[in-house]
Amino acid sequence: MIEYVTTPAGRPHEPQPAEPDRPHDPDPELRTERAFLDTARAALRRMHADVVATETPLIGGEDNDERFTNESNLRARWLRAQSLVDLPDVPLFFGRIDYDAGTVAEAADRIHIGRRHVHDEAGAPLVIDWRARVSVPFYRATRTDRQHVHRRRRYGFSDAADLTAYDDEILDGTGTASDAIDAGSTEADAFLRAEIERPRTGPMRDIVATIQPEQDDLVRAPLQPSICVQGAPGTGKTAIGLHRIAYLLYTERERLSRGGVVIVGPNRSFLSYIRKVLPALGEVDVRQTTVEELLGQPGTVGTAGAAGTVTGDPRAEQLKGDARMAAVLLRALWLHVGTPTEGILYTKGANRYRVHDYAVQEIVESLRGATRYAPGRNSLAQRIAHEVLVLMERRGESPDDRVQNAVARSRPVKALVDQVWPKVTPEQVLFRLLSDAAFLAAAAGADLAEDERAELAWAKPPRSAKSAKWSPAELVLLDELTDLIERRAGSLGHLVVDEAQDLSAMQLRALGRRCRTGSATVLGDLAQATSAWTTGSWEQVFEHLEMPGTRLVELERGFRVPGEIIDFAARLLPTIAPALGRPTGIRSLPDALRISSARPAASPDPQGFLDSLADACRNALAGEGSVAMIAADADVAELRAGLLDRNLPSALLGSADDAMETARLVCVPAMLAKGLEFDAVVVAEPARIVAAEPRGMARLYVVLTRAVTSLHVVHAEPLPAELRDTAVG
């Protein structure tokens, strides 16, 4: 029985914010809004207390069904209580829309919009959930299509979620406030800019207050068909995926609750970064995991834990992720089905019944390829038994199903089935494939060349399948074999795959199998593809996921990364992704980019480089918000030690889940930078990042686009040729 713990007072162990002690504000409208915020917070606390105090009826508990029902009811109550916890650093509402009089039936024409629904004791709404239909005009109304909205108000909050300001937009021409962002506009209004540029520390924040119309279209897209967001840096594709989950759980909760919702991210550092977004939106029951963990392979990817990591022989691991391996594994499995050398003689009393080998072979051929391996093996026994029953009936007997089952379980039939259609495990099949050259050649057919088979085979095979230490790519092959032997039951309701461009064909197939009847949100950027399995197109990804008809949407307007940084990084695009359009940054920060040459390359002075790097980090720390020093993976430890020697302590990303919360300065291995954002970024030695891996130029593109406010590139070695004609700093 699952136990959901509450405090003696009956409330979960969550801090409840006290009412703030504010100085007197001369603005009466601001005082009114603050009073309303206090009222709404008190109402939310009452809603939470009501749920906690509600008795959950329990039944019997004597059998499994009753225990399951009780645990489900307790969990539902616990989840509801968790969703109503008032997070002290999250504003309860962020906007307001004033409709024309009489627009909203059976509700006030003035609506406060927030991250969750809040009502008073009488049930009247105080805050409307941002996902509700009545909230849509907050994101989409413009002067040219104001959707019956007279006023749109946005609120400013301190880090402690205390309301500090508001900004009005009058859409019907009766006021002088600035218009909203129209589709195709190149500049965000000042209030939105302030929210985007607000300094950040620790995990990712939601963007529910700043969702733009093109983002809102994707967030509110229907559950079917699946969608894919090809998004340049700063377009908010990860945020779109997270807010889309929250929206779908609001509109399709019952349907999705049956299969569940899962987010698959590239590594644990990324998942730690996004982990607070959904709880802030009131959704606390969404699993966030990596591919390896989802496949039941915790801790198999090495220290960095990044999807696309190759830990064995690079060429062999790349081959193991190749789509051709699906056909190789299928043949390898069915090669275990043999040809009967003799029939079966079944004896019952004085009667004997013979099924000849050719009859058994006909049964085998009819089953081969028509079913999965394990059901086929079971069917073979039943089909042979059925042939025996036919012989019995010809002799005037009247056998029933019980006789057929007895024949199928008899020693002669079991022996024949074991000889013709042996029971196998995924580990046994893969062990034989990688350790037996002749078997590999037979299974490979025309799919793998001789040199590829040589690279794929183990140089030193382990003693047995049980003693084998499987690599991450091999574990994905085992997952494929598991499904080939017996079909995986069930399906997720919805799957979100972030940084999908880095997954192998075999990983994508494994994800698709877990979402056979559900839908997916696929997120990524082909320009940021850095793995050994980089795909050439999203259509290939959809094919491997077995999700035809997926809607592809390209986002090129970057709201978060300044235009100066985007333009600098985009110089790499003709080299790494010539088919993609050039992204546009809608925010301009003239001082966002700085490039420093630490020393002439001909006069090595590592201490001089470290001094320059430390100066760049100090300058970044002089501002507000988070700071990242990003370098080639192999260099991070040495550079971090050098910064510490210069009185600049830092956290190391990847060393702990909360690394980004323990220090303002975080040292980031380049391989873990994908998907993260920092206020200021210092990049150490781009040339070494490029040289560290085959797709190093794409890795550098990722690294250069992590900054929301400023990017400082410090180098001693020459910059890549594409970046050399820039002199900034």
Give the ranges where 486-581 is alpha helix by DSSP (H): 505-513, 538-545, 563-569, 573-576
Q: How far apart are CA 290 and CA 296, in angstroms?
A: 10
Copy the structure tokens of residue 330. Answer: 């299928």
Helix %, strand %, coil % for the chain, to 5?
A: 40, 15, 45
Copy the structure tokens of residue 611. Answer: 């001094």
Q: Is 233 annotated as a binding residue?
A: yes
Q: Determine contact, residues 384/415, Cβ cutoff 8 Å.
A: no
How would you classify the pairing of strands 651-652 and 627-631? Answer: unpaired
Q: Is 260 annotated as a binding residue?
A: no
Phi and psi torsions of 683, nearest 5°? -105, 125
Q: Name the strand (E) or helix (H) holding 606.
A: helix 606-621
Long-range contacts of 23-29 (CB under 8 A, 24+ apart): 29/166
Q: Determine contact, residues 558/584, Cβ cutoff 8 Å.
A: yes
The b-or-e profile of 322-353 (16+ CB within 10 A means b, else e) is: bbbbbebbbebbeebbeebeebbebeeeeeeb
Q: Is 236 annotated as a binding residue?
A: yes
Q: Determine contact, residues 230/538, Cβ cutoff 8 Å.
A: yes
Residue in this structure with the two tokens 């969750």, named with its chain if needed: 116
Q: Is 235 annotated as a binding residue?
A: yes
Q: How far apart are CA 422 and CA 200, in angstroms?
A: 59
Q: What number of H helices and E strands is found in the chain?
A: 29, 22
Q: Name the strand (E) or helix (H) holding 230.
A: strand 227-231
Residue in this structure with the two tokens 């019995």, named with its chain if needed: 392
Long-range contacts of 105-113 (CB under 8 A, 24+ apart): 107/134, 111/135, 112/36, 112/40, 113/138
Q: Determine contact, residues 155/94, Cβ cutoff 8 Å.
A: yes
Copy the structure tokens of residue 583. Answer: 């992204």
CA dihedral sign, ordered 519, 523, 526, 529? negative
Q: Is 232 annotated as a binding residue?
A: yes
Q: Is 684 annotated as a binding residue?
A: no
How would you classify the pairing of strands 519-524 and 494-497? Answer: parallel
Angle at 274 between CA 546 and CA 113, to 5 degrees: 100
Residues 6+ apart with CB under 8 A from 447: 324, 327, 328
Q: Is 265 annotated as a binding residue?
A: no
How would you classify the pairing of strands 678-684 and 707-715? Answer: parallel
Q: How far apart are CA 322 and CA 40, in angstroms?
A: 54
Copy the structure tokens of residue 463. Answer: 């003693």
Burial class for 281, CB neighbours closer than 10 Å (0-12, 13-18, 19+): buried
Copy the structure tokens of residue 729. Answer: 């700093």
Q: How far apart are CA 704 and CA 710, in angstroms?
A: 10
Q: Is 602 annotated as a binding residue?
A: no
- How far is C-alpha 344 from the chain's CA centre? 53
Binding residues: 231-238
Binding residues for ATP: 231-238
